[in-house]
Amino acid sequence: MTIDQISRVGIVGAGQMGAGIAEVCARAHADVLVYEASRDLVSAGRARIFRSLDRGVSSGKLTEREREQASCRLRFTSDLDDFADRQLAVEAIVEDEDAKIEIFRALDGVVADPDAVLASNTSSIPIMKLGMATANAGRVIGMHFFNPVPVLPLVELVTTLVTSDAVSRRAESFAYDVLGKQVVRSADRSGFVVNALLVPYLLSAIRMVESGFATADDVDKAMVLGCAHPMGPLKLTDLVGLDTVKAIADKMYEEFKEPLYSPPPLLLRMVEAGRLGKKSGRGFYRYDAPAR
């Protein structure tokens, strides 16, 4: 039996990542329902997505008509029960295991299609833990996007010991054929491929600044000019969010007990001080406007 290509998508969370995923799905002609926990968060999420669509028009990537069409494909809700008819749900809330488990438990009860894909955009939480919150862990998979989602072409696909082949094929086909993303597969290990390599690099850069080895500016300049990276590690930490980098590092350390994954005190202090990077207006650098 063939299973329909996914056209009805639900995104849980409209922060930086959820908004980006919702936008690329709507631009790829999917019918997109975005969930946020309250009306205020729905308004903020809607504004975030529409600002990015506007930016697409002003940078010449989208026509006015394409923006209007994408806007019409986006609906918002603060009631997860509205996800009953979704063929794909992508959870993209904060990197908090208990909160994600709650969402998966709820999605499992709501999403009716037994072949629906229940995906997490987690960076570091093993997908099996989320699958075990459901009665049908065969539907659960990791689909990990990269920030900014409209720009970066990768999706890491993470199957667990029990993800069904049909769900895995359906998710891969959606990422590749519908969204036009490139897909790499990773084992279900905290950090998957990209963060297992990226996070120790970001933490090493923070340790360099912490120890006075080099300034944040010079570390970033070195990696941009010396290695042709699009941005240096401290600016990238600001983009990802210091709280998110800390949460990922904590999970990776919990899994591997590798000292390089342990968040350095400077990162902890900055998170405690609310210096979360671009989204809070200050991290290793200062920002005028809130993050888009």
Residues that bind ligand 3HC (CB under 6 A): 52, 55, 59, 123, 146-148, 150-152, 195, 198, 230-231, 236, 240, 292
Q: Which is nearer to ligand 3HC, 148 or 281 (CB)?
A: 148
**CB 43 → ligand 3HC: shortest distance, Å?**
19
Tokens 């202090």: give the residue: 269
Amino acid at site 116:
A
**Choosing from 52, 123, 168, 280, which is the catalytic residue?**
123
**CB 112 → ligand 3HC: shortest distance, Å?**
30
34, 124, 137, 146 from 237: Cα distances, Å: 26, 16, 33, 13
Measured in degrees and rounded to the nearest 5, phi and psi for residue 144 equal -105, 115
Active site residue 123: yes
Task: Select the residue whose beta carbon is closest to ligand 3HC and give its number.
Answer: 123
23, 115, 145, 147, 238 from 151: Cα distances, Å: 11, 29, 10, 8, 17
**Choosing from 23, 36, 156, 172, which is the catalytic residue?**
156
**Residue 127 C-beta-side C-alpha neighbours within 13 Å:** 30
Tokens 């920002």: give the residue: 287
- The two tokens of residue 142 are 């990791």
**Residue 131 C-beta-side C-alpha neighbours within 13 Å:** 20
Q: Which is nearer to ligand 3HC, 87 or 190 (CB)?
A: 190
**CB 80 → ligand 3HC: shortest distance, Å?**
23
**CB 67 → ligand 3HC: shortest distance, Å?**
13
Q: Which is nearer to ligand 3HC, 116 or 216 (CB)?
A: 216
**Choosing from 120, 121, 168, 195, which is the catalytic residue?**
195
**CB 149 → ligand 3HC: shortest distance, Å?**
8
Active site residue 195: yes
What is the C-alpha separation between 72 and 92, in angstroms, rounded? 22
Active site residue 156: yes
Amino acid at site 84:
A
Q: Which is nearer to ligand 3HC, 38 or 59 (CB)?
A: 59
Tokens 């799905």: give the residue: 25
Q: Which is nearer to ligand 3HC, 116 or 198 (CB)?
A: 198
**CB 144 → ligand 3HC: shortest distance, Å?**
6
Q: Which is nearer to ligand 3HC, 116 or 240 (CB)?
A: 240
Beta-carbon contacts of 261 under 8 Å, excluding residues fewer than 6 positions away, are 191, 199, 200, 203, 249, 252, 253
**Choosing from 144, 186, 190, 280, which is the catalytic residue?**
144
Strands, sheet with 117-120, edge to edge from the N-terminal-most edge strand: 74-77, 31-35, 8-12, 88-91, 117-120, 140-144, 154-158, 182-186
Positions marked catalytic: 123, 144, 156, 195
